[in-house]
Amino acid sequence: MKSFFALICLCLASNSFGQIINPGDASPNLLNFVASSHDLLETYEVKEAEDAVDITTDYWDTSKIRVDYGKDIKFPIHLQFNDSNYVSPISKNKVITSRYGWRKGRAHRGIDIDLVTGDSLFAMFDGVVRFANYSSGHGRSVVVRHFNGLETAYAHLSSYGVKENDSVIAGSYLGKGGTSGNARGSHLHLEVSYQGIQINPEYLLQFNDSNEVLNNEIWITRDMTRPELHNSKRKGTIDVPTTESEAIAIANKPKTVYIVKRGDTLSRISSRNHMSLAALCKLNGINKNATLKIGQKVIVN
């Protein structure tokens, strides 16, 4: 109905302007109004297209924070964003206290954003609430499925502002932050996933005041979904492929090899190359207690 109304207004405005005013005589304000009308119509068309898609039919489970899709995902994954910005999940500056990556011998599959218990949390994009319940480890959590296939999970809440199957828009109130679950201090644990696979959020979004989506077209490689390849203490080099060919080239780029020297250990090599010991071992198919030989080649990237 809204888009129909916008279309009528646009047609009337365009016809009237075309009959009364020559393009060369049109004022800047008039031209801006016409341009804004076109932008408004395009926005409504996108929103109506999203509304026509039912994202609650496939693998819609409101009882679990993570859905088991039971199938292998083919990489690279193509993601599309209609918006160039997202709504910040908190209303203050985003201070990341822990990143996606390997942390204390375990996979940390999201990012932690500092907050004070009771701070309001907001949906980052339009979507539908799939899960709003307590989950072991994550505590009180809300999961929103979005129209491009992504899901965002907001964990360690102190209270809920939504329930399962609620429709939300970007900026909708979801609840309040807290320390529920296995949280050491109040913070928001934020996860971004596609069909059950957690993606390093920093390959998708800028976590600064700009709130920018890195690109409207992003191709996800397997390495972006492997926390053991990322350091939870520091932001790594972000190379975002915007075409399938770029993603394939990144996935197939030659590996960096280190030649073992006297006194080297796996721990020292991993630390020197800003990677976890687990990542180094997985890349090379070796045990963390393996004995190194001088001259041995070790893949470090």
Q: What is the pLDDT of residue 276?
A: 81
pTM for this model (two decimals): 0.78
Q: What is the pLDDT of residue 17?
A: 43
Q: Kindly state the helix (H) or strand (E) to which residue 129 belongs, with its residue range.
A: strand 127-135
276 half-sphere exposure, CB direction, 13 A CA radius: 21
User: Is the separation of the CB atoms in 192 and 111 below 8 Å?
Assistant: no
Residues 47-75: pLDDT tens digits? 555 556 899 999 999 999 999 998 889 99
Euclidean distance between CA atoms 22 and 26, whole angstroms? 6
Burial 2-24 (b: 16+ CB within 10 A, else e): ebeebeeebeeeeeebeeeeeee
Q: What is the pLDDT of residue 234?
A: 86
User: How many CB atoms are located within 10 Å of the residue 85 CB?
Assistant: 15
User: How many CB atoms are located within 10 Å of the residue 300 CB?
Assistant: 18
Euclidean distance between CA atoms 135 and 137, whole angstroms? 6
Name, of 18-32, 37-51, 201-215, 273-287, the range with top average pLDDT.
Answer: 201-215
Q: What is the pLDDT of residue 48?
A: 53
Residues 5-29: pLDDT tens digits? 444 444 444 444 444 444 455 455 5
Residues 217-255: pLDDT tens digits? 999 999 999 998 888 988 888 899 999 999 999 888 888
User: How many CB atoms are located within 10 Å of the residue 76 CB?
Assistant: 21
Q: Say which DSSP state 55 is in.
A: T
157, β-bridge pairs: 140, 177
Domains, the chain, with CATH or none: 77-252 (2.70.70.10), 256-300 (3.10.350.10)
Average pLDDT over residues 69-85: 94
Euclidean distance between CA atoms 199 and 110, whole angstroms? 8
